[in-house]
Amino acid sequence: MRLITLALATLLILIQFPLWLGKGGWFRVSELEQQVAVAQQKNETLRQRNAKLDSEVRDLKDGTGAVEERARFELSMIKQNEIYVQILGKGQAKPDAGDTPAEAPAARP
């Protein structure tokens, strides 16, 4: 009787092995679910970024306000009869007089 019980217990363990540790086992499924969750989070982040970029592209194509805003902040351009004022924080270097947009230098030799 002990031999039969031992044989059945061994068979039960052998049957359980693929369920837990095999190719489609519980551990592998759990690992794949975690990978899917990470990929979905990354996709959502990229979707939000793409939506923001798409909105910015549409704004640049359709309106002049976005173009003007970019010219002002990225290129430091000003309109005619405007005065450019730059406030420096602590530790920032004072810009050269020729680097201000209001006083754009002519061609340098």
* pLDDT at res. 35: 97
Residue 85 CA to residue 20 CA, distance in Å, equals 69
* pLDDT at res. 101: 52
The two three-digit tokens of residue 5, written as one number: 């019980």
- As a three-state string, the secondary structure of the chain is CHHHHHHHHHHHHHHHHHHHHCCCCHHHHHHHHHHHHHHHHHHHHHHHHHHHHHHHHHHHHHCCHHHHHHHHHHHCCCCCCCCCCCCCCCCCCCCCHHHCHHHCCCCCC
Residue 107 has pLDDT above 50, yes or no: no
Residue with tokens 């592209």: 57
pLDDT in tens, 33-89: 999 999 999 999 999 999 999 988 887 788 777 777 777 777 777 778 888 777 888
Residue 106 has pLDDT above 60, yes or no: no
Residue 28 has pLDDT above 60, yes or no: yes
Residue with tokens 């989070």: 41
pTM for the whole structure: 0.47
Question: Closest Cα to residue 95, out of 104, 86, 105?
Answer: 86
